[in-house]
Structure 1
């Protein structure tokens, strides 16, 4: 009995100390399972439910940072409802509205995590997890913006495979990751003006994030290691 209680206590301590790790793990897990669900209607439902869990985790992480928690709930609740309704009704307008709210939520949580990481001069393990989670949140947020852009402006993107068709969600997410990380593999290209503007904004966000946040965490970590 004592071993069970100690295990539960240790789990609660882990959850309390490293909330960003769970958000990062959920984002990475969704990347792993999405290729199995991408082309099926049932898969969309499952992935939408999984996305709802990620939304709840995002709100929970905001609650552990200096951000105002009710703002996150104000965005997350309608985003969750519209996301489920868009899958159930196969409605494009609902999908676009839910995508816009999800993008707003991911950017809000990312900004909150950045404020959390910049709030002091001490680097914790959770802040390192937060650095990875923030990167995925930014990539997800821009992917949703690309999805909206493609719906509003057809032929905004082209690709090496079947260049005439609209890009899938996974392709846009892949483009977002390569663009944010500045790897630029180039098999998906923005063609329209709006798509290129969004691409440039994401490139600017990626460079700024690495230059300001990640480099600061690395510098503080090296400074702490050198002072020991």
Structure 2
């Protein structure tokens, strides 16, 4: 195999790699066969997302270095919480909130550059479409982290049978909380509104309607931009063919 061609190929499909890693996290993490394996599954899959996210910025020097720094900090924070002795509640809440904050900064950095590439490119390519899908999934993941942080400091911010099933250990390590809040986030982002989880606190309610609006605006703006680019490119191609 010619490895000299592998890196350019991966860079041309960088958003496809990121999308695959995000879908693996979304699908395999909740489907973990044993509760004891949940932290390990989450750690491994989330680190895979961090690597794919950093790689998507590898052609931009300073964003790539910043992504490596934030990604490393997020990995260390995640592993330290799941694999260290349990501290007191105040320290534990601070560690979990710090982990969520670092993860949010990293994902926000990736989302910003992904959307800038997709919206500023003058052509619609397969990788750009993957990037657009990545932006949507990352947006839902980020909102899920925000909800997890809210739940960390206010356990009664959300109500419902699924929330009531969370144990004290789930709240401490944040793994199942993250999974549940991620589910709620994507239900809200897509405006499905099943109603099995209900925002109760003012902060949770405000964040929920903000996410619902952001999801609709994202799709409207993105589709309009991609359709516009496709029309412009198709028109330019037709004119070239006519001249020839």
Under a length normalisation based on structure 1, what TM-score does the superposition of the two structures give? 0.86
Pairwise CA distance, 1:136 = 1.0
Distance change (3 Å), C-alpha of 1:178 and 1:59: same
Please name the residue that 2:80 is paired with: 85
Please name the residue that 2:13 is paired with: 18
Structure 1, gaps ≥5 residues long = none
Take 1:218 and 1:64, find their aligned partners in 2: how far apart are those partners?
Answer: 27
Question: Whose radius of gyration is greater, 1 or 2?
Answer: 2
1:62 is the counterpart of 2:57: yes
Contact 2:148–2:178 under 8 Å retained in 1: yes
Pairwise CA distance, 1:27 = 0.7
Contact 1:114–1:134 under 8 Å retained in 2: yes
Tell me the number of residue pairs that the alignment of Structure 1 and Structure 2 aligns.
222
**How large is the RMSD of aligned CA atoms in angstroms?**
2.4
Larger CA deviation: 139-148 vs 197-206: 197-206
Please name the residue that 2:108 is paired with: 107
Pairwise CA distance, 1:72 = 1.9
Contact 1:158–1:188 under 8 Å retained in 2: yes
Please name the residue that 1:170 is paired with: 179
Under a length normalisation based on structure 2, what TM-score does the superposition of the two structures give? 0.81
Contact 2:24–2:45 under 8 Å retained in 1: no
1:201 is the counterpart of 2:222: no
Pairwise CA distance, 1:113 = 0.8
Contact 2:11–2:56 under 8 Å retained in 1: no
Take 2:68 and 2:210, find their aligned partners in 1: how far apart are those partners?
Answer: 26
Distance change (3 Å), C-alpha of 1:162 and 1:18: closer
Q: Deviations over 1:126-177 (max 9, x none)?
A: 1111001111111111111111101111211122x35545583322111111
Q: In structure 2, the residue corresponding to 1:36 is in which secondary structure? A: coil
Structure 2, gaps ≥5 residues long = 87-91, 167-175, 239-244
Distance change (3 Å), C-alpha of 1:216 and 1:162: closer
Q: Deviations over 1:23-70 (max 9, x none)?
A: 000111122211232862332123212211211211111234697223
Pairwise CA distance, 1:20 = 0.5
Please name the residue that 1:42 is paired with: 37
Take 2:97 and 2:116, find their aligned partners in 1: how far apart are those partners?
Answer: 29
Distance change (3 Å), C-alpha of 1:82 and 1:97: same
